[in-house]
Amino acid sequence: MGGPPRTLLHVTPTLLFFAWVSSFSLTYAHEHHQTGPADNRVPVDSILWIHIALQAFTWVILFPLVMILGLVRHRLHVPLASLSLLLTTGGYFLGHSHGGRSFPHTAHGTMASLMVLYLAAQTALGVYLKLHLKIGEKWVRPWIVLAHGILGKSFPIVGWVQALFGISTLQSWCFGGHLGQCLAHYIMGSAFQAYALILLIMMKAGGSWLERRGCSQEWFDSWVIMIWGVVNTFTEHHGGPWTHKDLQHTLMGVLWWAGGAVGIWLSRGGRRNVFPAIIIILTGWAMSAHEQSLMISTKVHSLFGYSLMAAGLARVIEVCFVLKDQPTGTTSDGRPSRESPTEAPESRGEAWYPIKAFQYLPPYLLTASGVLFMSATDEELKWANDRGVDHATWGLIDFSVSLAMFFWFNVLVDSYISFGGRYGASKFRSRQIAGVAGLSGPEARLEYSRLSMNGHSHAPGSEHHEMGRLRPGAKNISGATHQQVEEDEGMEARNHILFDEVDDDPFEDDDDDLDQRENGKKSRR
């Protein structure tokens, strides 16, 4: 299989790393900061707008995609990671060389400096793994793989937080007495979006994970709700006389820890319950009646409350009437809850489990609720009101942003599954179908290189959905028996790692490896 020379593939990340680290010594001589607040009457120049667009694209689009490719060890992981590093470096320089409006030193600038060390550490770990150095291979390498994976998975979170800091810096929001409200709105709004993403991941790829642990999704939801409620109960009043807002926020904390405790108790033994959804509904009802100083603020808060109530109601309907208290995608015997009409009965053990259309509604409404709440601070809505923007226009903007975000959430999760993620089945099924049809070579090739663990080499197509185990004596679509599949699974039971620990070059010999495994299965049959 053709590709860049091996030496070039190994040396390029190293040269890029050292050139990138050395370049930052030139960026600390800028003089665009000031001591007072930014003068918003001074326009933002084109260089700063390019900085914003470039960093937003890199941290919201590219780095999360790089993370997904790293999880499944796709061959594009290193090239796209290198491109992302170059783009964010260029954006960093632009952010320190713009003219026009100047800004005080903020959390955005502080975090940008810390991210230099963050990116340097991640790049250094990646270069070590890519070079396959023999130094400390037995004892050091596993820890470096772990650290590299943890840092890589945190990229979307770091990028999200830095983007929020950038918006508040650009608009001179969240200073002085407004900081507490900004934190409340941004943290809670981000939490709703994170909850939506978690529900989406568990819906599409986590059924087996929950089943193996004997837990329902509501057990984890209830624990988070209860802990959050305890924190809110003791942090919402900051001294002085109690106001109606203080009372509402504190009582909402009590509501959360009490409701979370109910949910935990009822979730014992993997049972499903609707109390996390009930808490969401009650929270939405309280927020819809949250009076504000501006009419637009009151109406946007009401819209947020209605969206949150709709999310909770949709979750109740999903659990009780769509899934009928069953886990998503599986029944108690590990078989799909509903087979595809075009699927052969012999392949039901490996089927990708269909998702009901209604199940997308709760996570989307949670995403929309998070966006609405994050856009509902006093400063943001005063800015909109001063420009003649009404609540309907503001709401349409928020729903448009939430749809774009939900689209990207689905793309990332589906990419992980389709590229052969740990809970994905589509690649395994494609390989089985290719085997029945007699396909080989480019027609049956998968998109990412093999994994190696404990001295065994594995073709990527051998990744299969853990919920879809065959019943004893049954045959899958390629004719393999339950015993043969179990033998393969014994060799392939492992977690995903980001880099190949045995092979010198993960870019070569994919087709030879796949052919060898196919021949091995034929000989056993």
- pLDDT tens digit string along 338-355? 444 344 434 444 334 578
Nearest to 252 by CA among 264, 235, 271: 235
The whole-number pLDDT of residue 9 equals 44
242 vs 224 pLDDT, higher one: 224
Phi then psi for 53, rounded to 5 degrees? -65, -40
The whole-number pLDDT of residue 491 equals 40
pLDDT surpasses 80 at 462: no
The whole-number pLDDT of residue 226 equals 96
The whole-number pLDDT of residue 408 equals 97
* Least confident span in 81-95, 167-181, 346-360, 379-393: 346-360
Q: Which amino acid appears at position 18 of this protein? A: F
Instruction: Identify the band that residue 321 occupies on the pLDDT scale cut at 50, 70 and 90.
Output: very high
* Least confident span in 184-198, 315-329, 489-503: 489-503
User: What letter does residue 62 receive in the DSSP assignment?
Assistant: I
pLDDT surpasses 60 at 238: yes
Q: Provide the Cα torsion 261, 266, 267, 271; round to 10°.
A: -170
Phi then psi for 336, rounded to 5 degrees? -60, 145
The whole-number pLDDT of residue 97 equals 81
The Cα angle at residue 346 between residues 344 and 352, in degrees rounded to 5? 70
Token pair recorded at residue 308:
């949150």
**Residue at token pair 């499903």:** 272
Helix, strand, or coil here: 457?
strand
What does the alpha-carbon distance between residue 498 and residue 263 come to, in Å, rounded to a whole number?
Answer: 36
Count of CB atoms situated within 10 Å of the CB of 314: 22
The whole-number pLDDT of residue 448 equals 30
What does the alpha-carbon distance between residue 59 and residue 88 come to, in Å, rounded to a whole number?
Answer: 8
What does the alpha-carbon distance between residue 353 and residue 204 come to, in Å, rounded to a whole number?
Answer: 8
pLDDT surpasses 70 at 424: no
Instruction: Identify the band that residue 36 occupies on the pLDDT scale cut at 50, 70 and 90.
Output: low
* Average pLDDT taken over every residue of the chain: 76
* Least confident span in 49-58, 102-111, 362-371, 507-516: 507-516
Average pLDDT, stretch 214-239? 89
pLDDT surpasses 70 at 96: yes
Alpha helices of 289-390 — where are they, by DSSP H? Answer: 295-317, 361-374, 378-386
Instruction: Identify the band that residue 519 occupies on the pLDDT scale cut at 50, 70 and 90.
Output: low
Which of 402-411, 500-509, 512-521 is most confident?
402-411
Token pair recorded at residue 354:
């269909």
What does the alpha-carbon distance between residue 477 and residue 492 come to, in Å, rounded to a whole number?
Answer: 20
The Cα angle at residue 116 between residues 111 and 119, in degrees rounded to 5? 110
Nearest to 304 by CA among 292, 293, 316: 292
What does the alpha-carbon distance between residue 420 and residue 74 come to, in Å, rounded to a whole number?
Answer: 9
Beta bridge partners of 104: 34
The whole-number pLDDT of residue 44 equals 85
126 vs 104 pLDDT, higher one: 126
pLDDT surpasses 50 at 331: no
Phi then psi for 251, rounded to 5 degrees? -65, -30
CA 270 to chain centre: 25
Which of 448-452, 478-482, 517-521 is most confident?
517-521
The whole-number pLDDT of residue 161 equals 95
227 vs 440 pLDDT, higher one: 227
323 vs 483 pLDDT, higher one: 323
The Cα angle at residue 354 between residues 350 and 360, in degrees rounded to 5? 145
Phi then psi for 453, rounded to 5 degrees? -160, 135
Q: Which helix (H) or strand (E) holds 61?
A: none
pLDDT surpasses 60 at 467: no
Strands 103-104 and 33-34: parallel
What does the alpha-carbon distance between residue 480 and residue 486 come to, in Å, rounded to a whole number?
Answer: 10
85 vs 480 pLDDT, higher one: 85
Share of the chain above pLDDT 90, in %: 46
The whole-number pLDDT of residue 249 equals 83
Average pLDDT, stretch 196-202? 94
What does the alpha-carbon distance between residue 274 and residue 313 come to, in Å, rounded to a whole number?
Answer: 9
pLDDT surpasses 50 at 1: no
21 vs 364 pLDDT, higher one: 364
Q: How many residues does the chain have?
A: 525
The whole-number pLDDT of residue 79 equals 93
Do residues 379 and 174 touch, judged by C-beta distance below 8 A?
yes
Question: Domain-by-domain residue ranges, the chain?
Answer: 1-27+43-172, 178-400, 426-524
The whole-number pLDDT of residue 207 equals 81
Phi then psi for 475, rounded to 5 degrees? -115, 145
Helix, strand, or coil here: 302?
helix
The whole-number pLDDT of residue 484 equals 47
**Residue at token pair 């100083």:** 293
What does the alpha-carbon distance between residue 8 and residue 472 come to, in Å, rounded to a whole number?
Answer: 49
478 vs 375 pLDDT, higher one: 375
What does the alpha-carbon distance between residue 282 and residue 278 come to, in Å, rounded to a whole number?
Answer: 6
Instruction: Identify the band that residue 444 occupies on the pLDDT scale cut at 50, 70 and 90.
Output: very low
pLDDT surpasses 90 at 53: yes
